[in-house]
């Protein structure tokens, strides 16, 4: 009986961890473009950036769980109202800015999906964008359990394949070493921005997953596993990218480009995983956005059509351009959100 209970306990913990990891590992991370833009270009300091960003993500998970569980908060609006008060201009502004960010993140995922088909099969970006939008539209009408099942299946495979790619690359470490990497503190800012914009996507999912946390003490296990796995995956991707740093500066999906050097097996298997990772993150973001802005089923249906249509239109801007220009800017919004979470509240008294 004790063994069965332990298995159930571990399964419930992993269920939450995999959803969190699946939410973070979207188009940017799984493609390698995110790690390249935020960490690899800064050389040795990029490693410190990975450590800092993952620490902040762990802190955000802890603070969010403590607040929503202790105060029985069921949605994002309730979280913001609890932290800074209701019926204020600031509350209204933050909630709407977060919703805009979720929409933009969804568009980036759709663009990344289209970019894969464009890079690998020379198909128009709009082809992949339409494909994922259709699948996402129907997935939106399933509850959080559907997202959980997708991540429970995907994330173990994704972890295995990223580590396998790292092994195939012999975990080679080739880090540019220049004065800029030593003196320029932009790497530090980038690491904070990386964690902050990821926290915007994570927090709505954390709120939806709180019902699966049976005991508060389990939060520490969730944080430890999530952060440890993200560190492993981030460092592995970092090393793989740096081993081919001079070949990938203008590549939209560098990991697939590198995997192709190891053979078609690695290229197409990892490509499939990227597409699934993009899909799970897109559905998480779309699901969170729709829950935030819809007050009834009719609105939910209309908004589902609207965001899918918008994502197809804007995906033609290009995955890399969207990622590099929008994410750092919106990362500042995440800093405000993290600051709100860090304010002492009644439950800590």
Q: What is the DSSP letter of 75?
A: S
Quickly count: other Cβ atoms within 10 Å of residue 276's Cβ.
19
Between CA 308 and CA 298 the distance in angstroms is: 16
Reply yes or no on whether the pLDDT at 345 is more than 60: no
Between CA 197 and CA 226 the distance in angstroms is: 17
pLDDT tens for each residue of 233-273: 999 999 888 888 877 877 767 887 888 888 888 888 878 87
**Least confident piece of the model among 97-111, 178-192, 210-224, 227-241:** 178-192
Q: How confident is the model at residue 83 (pLDDT cuts 50, 70, 90)?
A: confident
- Length of the chain in terms of residues written: 349
Q: How confident is the model at residue 285 (pLDDT cuts 50, 70, 90)?
A: confident
Between CA 269 and CA 251 the distance in angstroms is: 19
Mean pLDDT for 129-151 is 84
Most confident option among 11-15, 72-76, 292-296, 304-308: 304-308
Q: Which of 162, 202, 209 is nearest to 59 (CA)?
A: 202
Question: For the domain 14-169+177-344, what is the CATH superfamily, name and number?
Answer: Amino acid/polyamine transporter I (1.20.1740.10)
Mean pLDDT for 98-103 is 84
pLDDT of residue 348: 39
């Amino acid at each position: 009986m004790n063994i069965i209970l332990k298995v159930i306990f571990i399964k419930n913990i992993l269920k939450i961890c995999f959803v969190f990891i699946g939410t973070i590992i979207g188009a940017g991370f799984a493609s390698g473009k995110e790690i390249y833009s935020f960490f690899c270009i800064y050389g040795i300091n990029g490693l410190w950036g990975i450590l800092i960003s993952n620490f902040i993500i762990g802190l955000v998970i802890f603070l969010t769980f403590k607040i929503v569980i202790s105060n029985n908060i069921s949605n994002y609006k309730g979280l913001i109202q609890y932290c800074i008060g209701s019926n204020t201009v600031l509350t209204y502004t933050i909630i709407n800015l977060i919703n805009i960010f979720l929409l933009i993140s969804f568009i980036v995922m759709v663009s990344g999906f289209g970019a894969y088909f464009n890079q690998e099969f020379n198909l128009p970006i709009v082809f992949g964008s339409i494909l994922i939008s259709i699948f996402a539209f129907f997935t939106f009408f399933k509850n959080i359990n559907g997202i959980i099942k997708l991540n429970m299946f995907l994330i173990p495979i994704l972890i295995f394949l990223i580590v396998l790619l790292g092994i195939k690359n012999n975990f080679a470490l080739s880090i540019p070493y220049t004065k800029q990497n030593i003196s320029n503190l932009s790497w530090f800012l980038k690491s904070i921005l990386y964690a902050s914009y990821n926290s915007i996507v994570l927090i709505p999912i954390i709120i939806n997953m709180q019902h699966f946390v049976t005991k508060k003490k389990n939060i520490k296990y969730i944080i430890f596993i999530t952060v440890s796995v993200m560190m492993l995956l981030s460092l592995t991707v970092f090393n793989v990218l740096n081993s081919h740093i001079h070949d990938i500066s203008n590549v939209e999906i560098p990991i697939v480009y590198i995997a192709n050097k190891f053979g078609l097996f690695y290229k197409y298997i990892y490509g499939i995983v990227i597409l699934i990772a993009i899909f799970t993150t897109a559905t998480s973001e779309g699901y969170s956005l729709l829950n935030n802005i819809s007050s009834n089923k009719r609105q939910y249906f209309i908004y589902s059509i609207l965001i899918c249509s918008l994502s197809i239109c804007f995906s033609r801007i290009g995955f890399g351009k969207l990622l590099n220009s929008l994410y750092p800017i919106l990362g500042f919004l995440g800093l405000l959100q993290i600051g709100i979470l860090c304010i002492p509240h009644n439950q800590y008294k």
